[in-house]
Chains A and B, each alone.
Chain A
Amino acid sequence: MKILFPLLVVIILVGLVFMGVQEANLHLLFGIIIPYVSVTIFILGVIARVVNWSRSPVPFRIPTTCGQQKSLSWIKRDCLENPSNAVGVIGRMALEILTFRSLFRNTQTELKQGPYLVYHEEKLLWLAALAFHWSFLIVVIRHFRLFIEPIPGCLSLLCSLDGFMEIGSPVVFLSGVALLGAVSFLLLRRILSPKISYISLTADYFPLFLIIAIAASGILMRYFVKVDVIDIKAYTLGLLSLHPVIPADVSVIFYIHLFLVCVLLVYIPFSKLMHLGGIFLSPTRNMANNNRLKRHINPWNYPVKVHTYEEYEEHFREKMKQVGIPVEKE
């Protein structure tokens, strides 16, 4: 159920565009209205979500320290895993965001006869996650060749690098293959690993199916069910320069691709995919461990009921005097 339902939803979404474009001729809706609306929702949704997060303060400085603290001058401190200043924090966050540092630590535990608990290196998840996110990023950036004109040299260089194997015509973009491969691995892992499958929710499968469908439709369109990419670029430039024009006759596969991307854009702000923003705000990672060096202020700190020394001495004065512990009031 948790797997089939999201799959069904993605199939229905595809069916919806197919019917809408092919049968009902809703080109205006799918080609112009939905893209504009979804980009708007995406931008505003992400902002709203981040602003909502930022409205709650970080009352305490709670970094998870993963390396030697800064203490005595002769002890080598770990500036990245346990940063004590802003530069270190930037380094730690960069490692985390760009290389998934924490995921790299992953191990898999096995209970062997003995008993012995054995911790195996488990880098596959890290590798797949890294491949997935980076290829996704490259794919998105690469799409800018269809969004802007003229194409800047750096973008052109990226496309050349992505296709440097020069397989086939049109040239195979490696990032697309990597994306589909990695996302498929992540899906298979979720389904086949008993532990991961047990903790997975519908909301974990849906984006996977959606992204697989987006990547598959993109790949289909580039290599198999050909579309006129010149028309498409002219159309996107129209959209982006706010003079939208519906392309004459672009294959329905393009509308499917476009619509699924729109669904993804709308889905991001309302889902776990907001981890892309959340990681920046994670207090266990984005704070320096300089708690004893620099006072952190809690904006909602309030006076609390305490048991004062006077009350304590009042209670124990005689006993204290008996054993010679000094008191304030004789």
Chain B
Amino acid sequence: MAKEPKPQEIISQINYNPPQKSWMDIPVEMKEGMFCYGAKEKSLQTLDFPNVRSWSVLEEDWKLPEKWDKIVLEGIAERLKKYRSFKIFMDICVRCGACADKCHFFLGSGDPKNMPVLRAELLRSIYRKNFTAAGKILGKLAGARKLTLNVLKEWWYYFYQCSECRRCSVFCPYGIDTAEITIIARELLNLLGLNIEWIAGPAANCYLKGNHLGLEPHTIKNSIDFLVDEIEEKTGVRVSPTFNRKGAEILFVTPSGDLFADPGTYTCMGYLMLFHELGLDYTWSTYASEGGNFGFFTSMELAKRLNTKIYAEAKRLGVKWILGGECGHMWRVINQYMDTFNGPADFLEVPTSPITGTKFENAKSTKMTHISEFTADLIKHKKLNLDPRRNDHLKVTFHDSCNVARGMGMFEEPRYVIKNVCNHFYEMPENTIREKTFCCGSGSGLNASENMEMRLRGGLPRANAVKYVQEQYGVNMLACICAIDRAALPPLMNYWVPGVDVTGVTELVANALVMKGEKKRTTNLRGEDLSVEEKADV
């Protein structure tokens, strides 16, 4: 692994002024710390992906199929026929430059090819050369260039340096969405077996075992049982989750990351406590044990293949509707793709909260509701006994996850929940939240460890905004509703803003939740002392 640079080194290297030489004349350089390892043979094989072989990014020979360029060009032609977005986004960019400094990877690296417009031009130049009259005739003059091995490597390097966060798309006067271009470019790369292991591995796990981490059914049960013990120790309440239970009213699906590592596990404990307290008739599934979808970072087909399990399991178990946990890209897939991929979900009913009776009309067709929507509704109807003072040692700010922000538009629900369970809430600066939120720097399957420098650079704008509220208000807790955030933000905070911790929103809820029959809480879920006076008897 490359040596991690010091913050000051990174800052001093950032220069937003581009070099003299045209970007087309600068060959790609694979910088250590800025890319992820290539996909392994075994992962590609599990997923039935082409060009299964072992290969290494830093080796000259990527062991490509013989007519790889033909495969790519045919791949482009096929996708132009399938996606209007692709055609339009290839054709209408006027290079106004509004997107140039909106990408967190550009802001953290100064690499001009991280400007969304140039990232798209990497692909657009090949499109022009092969699919437009002007590009064929005028060549470079029309911004066209030939597809060479160097171009392919450049694609690989930069399309796995985009986290599909869509921030650029908010600022583009035509709504050109680099995420869409990256999705298509990654599909093309995957035609040649050019994935990264951090995506292919989890996707393969998810395909065979039901979740990215590759947790087998008994391990899932054991992990959750461990959390159940923890809850009992902290609260004195024994919760009793069920698995693969037929006839439950609700199927609960959340990213597997929350079962495995801190601070996600605390959020998971939060789910268990909340559902227990409500007496919710719900079940976990070990088969559909993944809310996230690393297939989405590979190809639409793989996204669909992995996503299928959720509806299939809901059908098998005969539940009425599905509740989804806190996750970013999971919710982009569920909100914008699931019903189209694998619907219609006519075997389910419109999600209805059994506690408040609220019908979630906005999920009438997909039949899946977000935990924040669900919780906000509970709080609004005063169905939860909350003592926000238990979170009084926290000064909380909220990180809008890219996909939930720009692929769904859920801004108020989590804020409403936080404000009801915490007394100290502060917003980060306006240009860094809501639809203008910055990525954690590790989205879209880039949260590996070998590319830590890239993640730290990409996370700079987010971290910097946190630093601002830390200095202004003494913020010490960054709340989020995304499992990748919970994995990626702690090292990021540690590096740029020491002293700020990361939490899921449901963890905050659980800490404030006064449960029936609980013992006097002396610590929060993390085992940290609670110095507040408990609320009077419940």
Residues of A with Cβ closer than 8 Å to B?
A: 5, 49, 52-62, 64-72, 74-76, 78, 81-82, 84, 96, 100, 102-103, 105-109, 111, 115-117, 119, 125, 129, 193-196, 198-204, 270-272, 274-275, 278-279, 281-285, 289-298, 300-301, 304-309, 312-313, 315-316, 319-320, 322-327
Contact = CB atoms under 8 A, between A and B. Distances in A.
27 contacts: A5-B141, A49-B91, A52-B87, A56-B84, A56-B86, A60-B336, A62-B336, A65-B406, A72-B413, A75-B376, A75-B412, A105-B170, A107-B101, A109-B102, A109-B107, A116-B464, A194-B18, A278-B174, A279-B175, A282-B175, A284-B175, A296-B340, A306-B308, A306-B312, A307-B208, A325-B244, A327-B244
Interface of B: 11, 14, 16-18, 22-23, 48, 80-88, 91-98, 100-102, 107, 112, 115, 117-118, 121, 133-134, 138, 141-143, 166, 169-177, 180, 207-210, 216-218, 221-222, 243-246, 286-287, 300-301, 304-305, 308-309, 312-313, 316, 334-337, 339-341, 343-344, 358, 360-366, 368, 373, 376-377, 380, 405-413, 416, 429, 431-432, 435-436, 460-461, 464-465, 467-468
A163 B115 CA distance: 42
A292 B409 contact: no
B171 A106 contact: yes
Nearest to B465: A117
Contacts of B363: 292-293
- What are the nearest 10 A-B pairs in CB distance? A65-B409, A278-B92, A69-B409, A284-B175, A292-B366, A198-B18, A201-B143, A285-B175, A119-B431, A82-B409
Contacts of B461: 117
A319 B16 contact: no
Given A60-B340, A105-B170, A301-B340, A322 B218 contact: yes
A198 B365 contact: no
A84 B361 CA distance: 12
A326 B245 contact: yes
A195 B244 contact: no
A105 B436 CA distance: 9
A304 B303 CA distance: 10
A7 to B, nearest CB: 13
Secondary structure dominating the interface of B: helix
A204 to B, nearest CB: 5
A305 B364 contact: no
A57 B16 contact: no
Given A103-B98, A195-B97, A64 B86 contact: no
B142 A125 contact: no
A272 B93 contact: yes
Chain A, interface SS category: loop
A67 B406 CA distance: 8
Contact of B365 (A196, A275, A293): A293
A115 B435 CA distance: 24
Contacts of A294: 364-365
A68 B115 contact: no
Contacts of A201: 95, 142-143
A69 B83 CA distance: 25
Contacts of B112: 195, 198-199
Contacts of A282: 85, 88, 92, 174-176
B107 A117 contact: yes
A196 B407 CA distance: 28
B205 to A, nearest CB: 11
A193 B115 CA distance: 15
Given A56-B86, A270-B134, A194 B464 contact: no
Contact of B175 (A64, A69, A298, A300): A64
A111 B11 contact: yes
A283 B335 CA distance: 15
A196 to B, nearest CB: 4
Contact of B210 (A57, A275, A289, A312): A312
Contact of A196 (B97, B173, B300, B465): B97
A297 B146 CA distance: 36
A323 B222 contact: yes
A67 B464 contact: no
B117 A64 contact: no
Residue with the greatest number of chain B CB neighbours at <10 A, chosen from A5, A62, A279: A62
Contacts of B95: 196, 199-201, 204, 272
A286 B94 CA distance: 19
A284 B373 contact: no
Given A196-B97, A275-B92, A292-B365, 7 more contacts: A64-B169, A66-B406, A71-B413, A72-B373, A278-B92, A293-B363, A322-B218
Contacts of A200: 95
Contacts of B166: 64
A6 to B, nearest CB: 9
A66 to B, nearest CB: 4
Contacts of B435: 65-67, 81
B243 A72 contact: no
A307 B207 contact: yes
Contacts of A301: 340-341
